[in-house]
Amino acid sequence: MRSEPKTVAIIGAGSWGTALAQHLGSKGISIRLWVFEPELLASLQDRHENLVFLPGVKLSRHITFTDDLGEAVTDQHNVIMAVPSHVYRQVLTSLAPHLSPGVTLVSATKGIETDSLLTMEGLVREVLGPETAYAVLSGPSFAVEVANRQPTAVTVASRSRPVATRIQRLFSSPYLRVYSSYDVTGVELGGALKNVMALGAGILEGLELGANPRAALITRGLAEISRLAVRLGANPMTLAGLAGLGDLVLSCTSRLSRNYQVGLQLGQGKKLAEILKDMQMVAEGLKTAGAAYHLARKLGVEMPIVEQMYRILYEDHSPQDAIKRLMTRELKDEIDAISLTW
């Protein structure tokens, strides 16, 4: 069994990348954290605190900061990608010439690329080649809570059992319990699609519609996520686990979720452009809603909630109209309506 690495590179200094750096740094691992924004880099080097994306957390002295991709990953055998999905391909392409042979790439990004409709694993296979050692980390985990060592459970998935086990051990600690999985497809799609449902849950709160519709959204949302994931080869049990139901419940019930916050403001009557103008962080569900809508149509998978979220975000339909359309659809048997291939 390999010993724990002495150094790890993390690409992306948003809230999640910074929290993972803090977590691994607290285990005594030296972290090279790549920072895109020049102003943020200067602040991190001066204050050793991410005032933009993770304020209030004094960062480990085991973390060093750089804006040079080559410097970040030189001689690194474990590279964690924590950049937004819409820049993932661009950053990975720039990173590729600097990666060491035999590198393991760990994705901490939750999304689907809009143009190609690929998950992050698909992008990695296209850019780096099909033999690249790859793992994905996902599950119900707000960055600030992980950084503050609050008990959290997540999942790491890889198609290689040795890789899954190794990355599981890398991230595990007394306050971060990591389960292993070999269902990369299910873990990635669960993490990406829950953001779309979180937008919807926020809308419901913004409209002050109570707890009943939120419970319905979570339940029927899980059915939709499972339908698409299983259609693409996922194990349906994965969607009942941390990366599926766990992450869905977290994001649909807490105002710490960026996607929930965007939905909340939409429900209160704000326009999307107005909301985004004041946001510094990325709400992945906005782009994922479009990608999921087109992917479902391409595959012939019924996803009515995703469809209505697409109408709200991209066709300026009102939330009230979307709810009416969902509630007055043709009546169905609940189990038949799930239609999973077990």
pTM for the complete prediction?
0.95
**In the structure, what pLDDT confidence band is assigned to residue 5 with cuts at 50, 70 and 90?**
confident
**Where does CATH 3.40.50.720 sit in the chain?**
7-182
Structure tokens at 339: 């239609």
**Where does CATH 1.10.1040.10 sit in the chain?**
191-338
Average pLDDT of the segment spanning 127-147: 97
Residue 282 confidence (pLDDT): 75
Kindly report the CATH class assigned to 191-338: mainly alpha
Token pair 């809230």 is at which residue?
A: 15
Helices (H), 133-174: 143-147, 161-171
CA-wise closest residue to 4 among 30, 42, 22: 30
Query: Quick check: 341 pLDDT over 70?
Result: no
Query: Quick check: 342 pLDDT over 60?
Result: no
Active site residue 194: yes
How does pLDDT run across 216-236, given as a tens digit for each residue?
Answer: 999 999 999 999 999 999 999
Query: Quick check: 145 pLDDT over 60?
Result: yes
CB atoms within 10 A of CB 128: 18
How does pLDDT run across 89-119, given as a tens digit for each residue?
Answer: 999 999 999 999 999 999 999 999 999 999 9
**Cβ contact 26:58 at 8 Å:** no
How does pLDDT run across 263-305, given as a tens digit for each residue?
Answer: 999 999 999 989 988 777 778 999 999 999 999 999 999 999 9
Spot the catalytic one: 6, 27, 110, 194: 194
Fold of 7-182: Rossmann fold (3.40.50)
Average pLDDT of the segment spanning 188-208: 98
Residue 339 confidence (pLDDT): 56
120-127 contacts: CB < 8 A, separation 24 or more? 120/81, 120/85, 120/88, 120/188, 121/184, 121/185, 121/188, 123/88, 123/89, 123/92, 124/92, 126/89, 127/89, 127/92, 127/93, 127/96
**In the structure, what pLDDT confidence band is assigned to residue 338 with cuts at 50, 70 and 90?**
low
Residue 278 confidence (pLDDT): 78
- pLDDT: is 277 or 88 the higher one? 88
